[in-house]
Each structure stands twice: as structure tokens, then as C-alpha cells.
Amino acid sequence: MRHLAVALFRFISLVLLIAIISAGPICALAGETIRINGSGTGLEMMKPLIQAYVKSAPEVLFEMEKPLGSSGAIKALIAGVLDIAVSSKPLKPEESAQGAKLSYFGKTPLAIVTGSNVPVSNISIEELESIYSGRTRKWSNNENIRVVLRPLEDIDTKILRGLSPGMDEAIVLAQNRRGMITAVTDPESNQAVANTIGGIGTSGLAGIMVEKAALKILLLNGVKPTIASLAEGRYPLAKEIHFVTTGKLSESGRKFLDFIYSEKGRAVVENIGVLTAAGGE
């Protein structure tokens, strides 16, 4: 009987061990992995927030892949693949109908950027119109201007089109011009502008500051893109940042969002160029 009891004990222990190994880390069992994706600027903003949060909650794990963009991340969220989406644009009616819930967080200046060797530090709206329309094709050093576009439906494109009627028309012309460079995500656009001789494009300030991209940030009509100039209404281009969730958000995810919207969380992102609101809308 004694041998039988020992054998039974060993068998039960082996079964329990296999079950624990198969289930993965204890933190995963507790639902502590938070899956996040969204716009490139939004994901860059998340990096210092996550670094600050895990200091007080080291048991929480974060999973953040390459940016899917706002629309792609919201689709993944609705499908249950993500816990939180960081979006630069409002929800579509059909996304809301499928259970997506949006909370406004803040905004960051959408900066006009060039490669570091472009001989300009300030640009006017009229000059931008001329560059995007194709009327101006060379910088003052006789280097060709190479515009890096975003897709027509991208939020950066929509923001830039809203700068002026002339800019709206200029971007339509640029989108229809053959041989143009188009970057799908924020990191791809930053890399293309930085690596293309004579390159010019747009980028969210928060993404530039976290990524430390090798870009020159231009003044627009003499105004530097900062949270102060944005708050005062002097800088006209802003990229909004929203968090999107569903009713299935875990307790861990909710606590993380509470931290983001807290005074401490807002202080983290204000250091990287995000003008925050006091809370979600």
C-alpha cells in the first residue's frame, strides 16, 4: 500500500507540473499581459508610459508589435486580438456599433519635418502649398525637393489638407503625381524623410521625441511646434490621441489606463510633447 501511495503521489505531482508548464507563466494565468497597438505616434508615446508604470507594477507584461495604424488596431481590438488601441482619429459608427469605446487623451503637434541637411528652418503655408503642388521643386542649395506623402485616408494627410484651401488642392495634386514616395506608418515616414536627400514630410512631435529620429523640425509661419504654442492656438496642426477599448478590458488594463490619465501619467507624456486633457471624454 505504501508503494502504491508513493506512486499515486508522484503521478498527481507530474500531472500538476505538466498543467502548470502548459499554462505558461503565472502572470499570464492572472491576465497580466496587456496587448496594445495603434498609430505609430501613439505607440512611441506608450513607451515612456509603460516604463514608468512597470516600476510600481513589475508583474504586468506588455505586448506591443509594429504599428497597425489607428484603423488596423481598432479592427484588431474588436476582434479580441488587442486589449487597448491608441488611435489618432475618432471612431466610425460601425466601430462603435461593434462595441468600441473611445476616450480622448490629448494631442501632439503635427510637425513639418525635413532631413537634417535641408537648408531651411522655417517654412510658410504658401511655401508648403508650392512644394506639395509641385510648383517649387528645389531647395535653395539646388537640391531636389522630395515630398514623403502619407496615404490619402491617413489622418496626417487629412490634418495637412485642413491647413488651407491651397494646401488641400496641393495634396490632391501630389497624390496624383507619378513617382511620389508614400509611407504607410509614422516610423516608415520618419525613416523615409531622414534617409531621403531633400526629403520633407510630417510627423507627430511625440513620436520624434521618443524615437529621437534624425529629423529637422521646422517652424511653421515662424511658430515652433510645442505644447505651449498648441495650447495658445498659435500652432495650427495637431494630431489627437485617443484610447479605444471594449467592455472586455481586463482589470489590469483598466488600472493601466487609470495610471495614464492620472497626474503622474500626464506628466510623463507632457515631457515628450503631448498636450493632455484632465481625463477622457
Residue 16 has pLDDT above 50, yes or no: no
Residue 115 shares a structural domain with residue 138: yes
Residue 55 shares a structural domain with residue 126: no
Query: Buried b / exposed e across 66-85, counting CB within 10 Å, b at 16+?
Result: ebbbbbbbbbbbbeeebbbb
Residue 205 shares a structural domain with residue 115: yes
Q: Which domain holds residue 39?
A: 31-106+239-276
Q: What digits encode the pLDDT tens for the residues 259-280?
A: 999 999 999 999 999 999 864 3
DSSP-derived letter for residue 154 is S
Q: What digits encode the pLDDT tens for the residues 144-193?
A: 999 999 999 999 999 999 999 999 999 999 999 999 999 999 999 999 99
Q: What digits encode the pLDDT tens for the residues 187-201?
A: 999 999 999 999 999
Residue 19 has pLDDT above 70, yes or no: no
Q: According to the model, what pLDDT value does residue 275 have?
A: 97
Residue 147 shares a structural domain with residue 230: yes
Q: Taking the model in full, what pTM does it have?
A: 0.84
Residue 206 shares a structural domain with residue 113: yes
Asked, for residue 10, whether it belongs to a domain, the answer is: no
In the chain, the number of structural domains is 2
Asked, for residue 12, whether it belongs to a domain, the answer is: no
> Quick one: average pLDDT of 245-253?
95
Residue 231 shares a structural domain with residue 114: yes
Residue 26 has pLDDT above 90, yes or no: no
Residue 212 shares a structural domain with residue 231: yes
The secondary structure of 90-151 as a DSSP string is PPPHHHHHTT-EEEEEEEEEEEEEEETTSS-SEE-HHHHHHHHHTS--B-TTSPBPEEEE--
Phi, then psi, of 126 in degrees rounded to 5: -65, -40
Q: What digits encode the pLDDT tens for the residues 88-132?
A: 999 999 999 999 999 999 999 999 999 999 999 999 999 999 999
